[in-house]
Structure 1
Amino acid sequence: MSWYTWIEQGRANVSAQVLDAIARVLGLSADQRIYMRRLAGLNADYIDARYTPDKRELIPYVDNWNQGPAYVLDRYWNVITANDQFHTLWAATQRRINIVEHFFTDPHARTLYPLWESAAPTLTGRFRSQASRYPDDPEFRCLTRRLVTTSPAFAQLWAQHLVTDDACGPDSLFHPGTGPQKYMWTSLRFADRTGLTMVVYLPCHDAPSGALAERA
């Protein structure tokens, strides 16, 4: 355990590859790997490839948000679970929905987002920011290639290398019962190793003007 002790004391200068190898040999847990990476001054956005989210455990988070739509995403922006308000607005069934793919390829998105043209660059920039967290993940490359092929609008925006923060912002959605509704959304990340994010919307009558962003 001398390597572990040296790292804790800041006496070891090791690469991420060496550190991960040590973690495997020592049989460290995900939390211990993250802790050791932080001590070594390395990127601590450790992703547990073996982690599989349990939808049943996540349902209470979204069902208890009654102010507006709420949903939980995996790292690729696939919706794992969502509340009834999300299903009403997104016209969603039990089929899997990917937020960015829905926005650019589903005709319903043009109705759901009254300011679609303004929201598209922001969403693309936010998705690039998300993908940059996982530079070695081939699934992101597959997803972006598919979107570039199926959506000329996405292809054009993706080529511009837009990058936008993915924390919170204004949005405008069309409710089938009440018409356009302004919201403020925010994203709440679970532990980094899970790759999960919960997104919640709060109705807002005084949302900032300008390009209203779609949230994923």
Structure 2
Amino acid sequence: MDDLAGFLRTRRARVDPAAVGIPTDSRRRVAGLRREEVAHLSGVSVDYYVRLEQGRATQPSEQVLDALSRVLGLDETERGHLHRLSRQHRRRAKAPSGRVRPELRRVLDLVTDAPALIMDHRLNVLAGNHLAALLYGRPLPGLSIARHLFLEEADEGLYADWDTCTLDVVGHLRLAAGEHPDDPRLASLIGELSMRSERFRRLWARADVRARTHGRKAYRHPLVGLLELHQENFALPGDAGLELIVLSAAPDSPAEDGLRRLAATSAAEEQSRSDVDRA
């Protein structure tokens, strides 16, 4: 799904030669740096770097990876991804089981004023509280956020910042592919999205990686309108690959009022159904 050679090629292509002190002219036809330029700036032989990009060199040292990260201008997330890719042939991470402990389900139910859910590394929702189900308008177990975003939603759908969300999802799946290269379900998901979504295909080809742990998340809900929420991602140490996501509203904000109205609307509908059943 992802490899060290391909990642190096995409990162090399995005580096501005002028930014690393290499003069350019109109005759230059290469996007980004040439292989020999990366090798020279990193302090490795041209032959060795070429073998890295061809997938023929194995076990690059930490020093070489750090030098390549510096030359290619990698951020912290990309550096970690590069190191994981270099270790793929040595250690294959086992894909998480995807089971949610009953204790975690009870924790979700204790969160009553904010949508909360548990997702795996493939962005499948494994469990969620009542308010999260109302936000997405469907039962949550079995919902694939990636499929929902790329195959069911458009830029006028539930996600107010659809373009940004697509970048986040593809960047997350790139990280997951580097950590779980032997996960057939993840490979199947990526293949499906590549075939069915032109935007996913273009973004995946860029090989960008993203690790988003918190930030603004805006939804355009059909019942209560715009909900500008704050997302916090909590890794669950005893449940590898699983994350608890909580979407909170600022106190006294329109989003807080929107979540209250959403919960009240649901309660009124349930009461109405109950009255009909008793009649």
Q: Normalising by structure 2, what TM-score? A: 0.52
Q: Deviations over 1:12-68 (max 9, x none)?
A: xxxxxxxxxxxxxxxxxxxxxxxxxxxxxxx9996476x451464432122212232
CA contact (8 A) 1:78 1:98 kept: yes
SS in structure 1 of the partner of residue 219 of structure 2? strand
- Contact 1:46–1:192 (Cα < 8 Å) also in 2: no
- Work out whether residues 119 and 242 of structure 2, in 8 Å CA contact, stay in contact via their aligned partners in 1: yes
Moved over 3 A (4+): 43-49, 54-57, 107-110
Per-residue CA shift, 1:123-176, capped at 9, x if unaligned?
221222233221232222111001111111111111111211231111101233
- Counterpart residue type for residue 133 of structure 2: H
- Paired with 2:129 and 2:154, the residues of 1 have a C-alpha distance of 19
Instruction: Indicate if the aligned counterparts of 2:170 and 2:203 stay in contact, CA closer than 8 A.
Output: yes
Give 1:26's aligned residue: none
Could you say which residue in structure 1 is the equivalent of 2:138? Answer: 92
Residue by residue over 1:84-128, the C-alpha shift from the partner in whole angstroms, topping out at 9 and shown as x without a partner, is: 121112111366111111111113784211221232222221222
Q: Which amino acid aligns with 1:66?
A: T
When Rg is computed on C-alpha atoms for both structures, the one with the higher figure is: 2
> What is the number of residues matched between the two proteins?
165
Of 202, 205, 208, 2:248 maps to 202
Read off the aligned partner of 1:68 and give its amino acid letter.
A
Q: TM-score if structure 1 supplies the norm length? A: 0.65
Check if 1:134 corresponds to 2:180.
yes
Match of 1:79 among 125, 147, 154: 125
| 2:189 matched residue in structure 1 | 143
CA distance in 1, matches of 2:216, 2:92: 27
- Contact (CA 8 Å) 2:133, 2:140: kept in 1 or not? no
Percent identity of the aligned residues?
23
> How far apart in 2 are the matches of 1:165 and 1:119?
12
The residue number in structure 2 matching 1:6 is none
In structure 1, the partner of 2:27 is none
CA contact (8 A) 2:115 2:131 kept: yes
Q: Larger deviation: 144-153 or 62-71?
A: 62-71
- Summarize the Cα distance change of 1:48–1:152 in structure 2 as closer, same or farther, 3 Å threshold: closer
The 1:193/1:179 distance shift into structure 2, 3 A limit, reads closer
- Structure 1: gaps spanning 5 or more residues: 1-42, 207-216
Q: How does 1:19-34 map to 2 (within 5 A)?
A: none
Between the aligned partners of 1:109 and 1:125, the Cα distance in structure 2 is: 19
Match of 1:189 in 2: 235
Q: Write the mapping of 1:164-183 to structure 2, written as runs, cut at 5 A.
A: 164-183=210-229
Aligned position for 2:115: 69
Residues of 1 paired with 2:231 and 2:212: CA distance? 10
Distance 1:196 1:115 in 2: 24
Distance 1:72 1:95 in 2: 9
